[in-house]
Amino acid sequence: MSMTMRYLGTYTVKPEEATWGGHLPLSELDQIGTITHVPTIYFYKPPPEWLHPADAIFAALRGSLSRALVPFYPLAGKLRWLEGGRLQLDCNATGVHLIEAESGGELDDLGDFSPCPEFEQLVPSVDYTKPIHELPLLLVQVTKFKCGGLTLSISISHAVADGPSALHFMTEWARLARGERLSVEPYYDRKVLWVGEDPSEALPPPPPQLEHSEFDPPPLLIGQTNNLEERKKKTTVAMLKLTKTQVETLKNAANEDRDGQHMRPYTRYETMAAHIWRCACKARKHKPEQPTALAICVDSRRRLQPPPKLGYFGNATLDVIASGTSGELVSSPLGCTSSKIRDAIERVTHDYVRSAIKHIREQPDLTLFQDVHALGSTRGPFYGNPNLGVVSWVTLPIYGLDFGWGREVHMGPGNHDFDGDSLVLPSLEEEGGLVVALCLQIAHMEDFKKFFYEDIVG
């Protein structure tokens, strides 16, 4: 299936009113991990034409985006590289990009909305050959289909916002588009994460010196001295759906294996991440002694004391690592793998976050901690074979984005084509069901799917 696409225009949208200008310091957690743009796509059935003609929809989005950029003014700025791989955010109101496009296809052509090559045309393209200070931090593309349906794709620089912050912006933008007031003001003071413009600024009493395996290079395949060959291998993406019954079956299997009667039952995420990890080890045909690591993204907002103010806008997530050998993971009960994941998550305490920030702060060069694969670089951590990353969107308010013409019929990530990337999303079709958006090397995907479903009943 191919879609003919016409780009009708790219507009620079600036804040509707004058906003604060200057350098906004980025926290250490903004400076590491993925620093490129992260896309999501919302799909909408045709709105009633007499109420919402396509031109009126685009005009409403453009006007409300301009209003939303007043409270969310950092998104209208630009990043700039500093020495040592550090980034600075210039709040200069230069604006964001809003792209209008038209597809010759119909929404039904996209089937179950699984990521496919056609998604590339629905997502705003970012030209990473340009210097970073020329790239917008936010790009939005509205694509109208022949049937009257439309997609809204939003790409936000991860250096400026993590998942909770990006969804905060999108939710508030939709409220403003519906004519409502802002619900939660964004809060930008990075000092809650012990950072200021002056590097000599006094910190609170130093945190304990803790081990941080998340900053170590991930394991390599046995016999290899680098991951360059694995980075080059072609990948494919699958959206794997699980019913509530299948999720409960997995949870029950994991919790049968718990040690001790008083331990909290394993969560859906702990169970699902364990299942994905084990299936990947089997599909990749690892040797039993193969070391493997799982990267887990943990939101530290509620783990800090005191927690940041509601609406903290930036990155407050930290990747932590669970590790083991493939043989150990696939031969042990599911609960044993779930316990490794829980142990990693529970390491993220107030002191652990402070210790991690101190560790990052002391690095002379942050480029080793930055994932810049979209920039065509081979530096930075690689969580492809033999490793994996499992990000949870289970508790994020990803659904119900209504700009005034109704809720979406589907939302999902844009194409993510990096081996080992996976997302766990709540099902839109069934309360308690889950969807796993997974990218693996083409050679491993069919075996993974087989194990993914067989091992639930096996």
* Active-site annotation, residues: 158, 402
Q: How many CA atoms lie within 13 A of 157 on its CB side?
A: 31
Phi then psi for residue 16, to 5 deg, are -65, -30
Environment class of residue 329 by beta-carbon count within 10 Å: exposed (0-12), middle (13-18) or buried (19+)?
buried
Q: Report in angstroms the alpha-carbon separations of 237 from 142, 199, 275, 416, 436.
A: 23, 42, 18, 7, 10
Q: Report in angstroms the alpha-carbon separations of 384 from 227, 235, 253, 332, 435.
A: 9, 10, 27, 23, 20
- Rounded to a whole number of angstroms, the CA Rg of the chain reads 22
Q: Which residue has the tokens 């990096």?
A: 418
Which residues are paired to 154 by β-bridges?
40, 140
Cis ω for the linkage preceding 386 (within 30 of 0): yes
Q: Nearest 5°: CA angle at 28, between 418 and 184?
A: 90
> What is the 3-class SS of 305-332, one letter each residue?
CCCCCCCECCCCEEEEEEEEEHHHHHHC
Q: Could you tell me if 239 and 231 are in contact, meaning their C-beta atoms sit under 8 angstroms apart? A: no
Q: Could you tell me if 436 and 394 are in contact, meaning their C-beta atoms sit under 8 angstroms apart? A: no
Length of the chain: 458
Q: Which long-range contacts (CB under 8 A, 24 or more apart) does 258-261 make?
A: 258/335, 258/339, 259/339
Q: Could you tell me if 398 and 44 are in contact, meaning their C-beta atoms sit under 8 angstroms apart? A: no
Environment class of residue 69 by beta-carbon count within 10 Å: exposed (0-12), middle (13-18) or buried (19+)?
buried
